[in-house]
Each structure stands twice: as C-alpha cells, then as structure tokens.
A and B are shown apart, each in its own frame.
Chain A
Amino acid sequence: GAGVSQTPSNKVTEKGKYVELRCDPISGHTALYWYRQSLGQGPEFLIYFQGTGAADDSGLPNDRFFAVRPEGSVSTLKIQRTERGDSAVYLCASSSGLAGGEQYFGPGTRLTVT
C-alpha cells in the first residue's frame, strides 16, 4: 500500500486477555517503530526495529509487552495479561532507516481494556 496500515482500527478486550496489534509498513522501509499514546498526551516510544531485529526496546514498559518482525516487514505488538492502564492508541511508524529519514505514521489502533 501507499502508507503505513494498522489493524485492527479499534480493539476492545477484557482485563487479563491477550491481544495482538499488527502493523504493515511502507514497502521497502527497513525501520519500524511502535509508540503508545495515552489520552491527551504525546506518543511515547516503545520499540524500534531495524530489519528483523529490535535495535532499541528500551520503551517497553514491562515484560507483558513484546513485539516481533520476523521477515523484516510486518510487525506485531503483543500484550499479555492486559490491564486497564494499557488502554491507549498504539501508533506504528516506518522509515527508510537512513539517517535523517522521515517517520511515516499509521492511523493507530485504539485499545480499550475493560
């Protein structure tokens, strides 16, 4: 596609459940980022992939959060044992991976944990 896509657009789940959020980056982009945006706040960095490997996962809040990018394209953010505090918009972005390359964002997935 022409831009970054994310599915689902919205996800409602019960506390304690497991969820997966998917990101399809722009074709050819080697770098992929996940951010979390709580209501009324700016996005906060979670994890950054360069190719298949996580180059920086310092933003993941705890071990319930995990992300993969097995073939260097699509990425999945996985959240185990969801908590109400996980409710937020999860944004994905991709870039060429070159220094100075612009990050292009997807429309995000709004996660609501009830």
Chain B
Amino acid sequence: AQTVTQSQPEMSVQEAETVTLSCTYDTSESDYYLFWYKQPPSRQMILVIRQEAYKQQNATENRFSVNFQKAAKSFSLKISDSQLGDAAMYFCAYRSAGSNDYKLSFGAGTTVTVRA
C-alpha cells in the first residue's frame, strides 16, 4: 500500500494570510492521482483539489493551489486569503490510476486553525 505522510499535525494562520500544508507520498507507480480533502467538525469529507500525476501543471481551485513535485514525491496545498470557514482538518490522499485500484490512501491529517 502507498504511504502518505503529513508531517504537520497543526497549522495556524491569520485571517486573510496564506498557509501551506505539506504532504509527501511513497509510490513506485508512474500514473496516479493526488487529492486534498477538507473535513470540518461535521465529519463530511469535501474534495478541495485534485492533481493527475501525468499533468505537469499545478492544479488551482480559487484560493486553493498545489505545488506538485513528482520527482520529490511532494504535494503541498496553499490556502491563500484564509477565511474563518477554512478552519478544518485537511487530508492528503493518493489513488492509483490502475483500472481496479480505486481506493484512497490518506495521510494522518493537518488541523488548520484560522485566527480572526
């Protein structure tokens, strides 16, 4: 199974500032997907952004962007102009692009606190 590592248990950011969450992963595959999910206290996992490994361009979704470094097996998430609603636990996840391997492998998560 692939290993996903999030080395920051907690991060704090001032409202309107920028925070970057780190994620590294271990795989021998060349084609795969990477995701960042947000989990607020309601427990509902919400997809924030996804990256396909064969695409060199970093994905962007409004205030959320990633820095995907395939050779380094690194996939960080940048939250710009942080808002109070961004406070949640964030999980990095990996999924193989193999035809019968759709399960997600998650990291341990990073709790993001936004200070008003």
Contact = CB atoms under 8 A, between A and B. Distances in A.
Report whether chain A binds chain B.
yes
Interface of A: 31, 33, 35, 40-45, 48, 55-56, 59, 89, 91, 93, 95, 99-103, 105-108, 110
A66 to B, nearest CB: 18
B64 interface: no
Contact of A99 (B50, B97, B104, B107): B97
Taking chain B's interface residues, is the majority helix, strand, or loop, or is none over half, making it mixed?
A: loop
A35 B4 CA distance: 16
A91 B42 CA distance: 12
Interface of B: 4, 6, 33, 37, 42-47, 50, 52, 91, 93, 97, 99-109
B42 A48 contact: no
B62 to A, nearest CB: 17
A56 B103 contact: yes
B45 A45 contact: no
A45 B43 contact: no
B91 A42 contact: yes
B26 to A, nearest CB: 15
Contacts of B6: 42
Contact of B104 (A45, A55, A89, A108): A45
A48 B45 contact: no
Contacts of A44: 106
B103 A42 contact: no
B102 to A, nearest CB: 6
Contacts of B107: 42
A62 to B, nearest CB: 17
B106 A43 contact: yes
A99 B97 CA distance: 7
Name which of B4, B46, B102 has the most chain A CB atoms within 10 A of its CB: B102
B38 to A, nearest CB: 11
Contact of A33 (B4, B33, B42, B103): B103
Given A42-B91, A89-B43, 13 more contacts: A33-B102, A33-B104, A40-B108, A40-B109, A42-B4, A45-B105, A56-B100, A56-B101, A59-B103, A99-B99, A103-B47, A105-B45, A107-B44
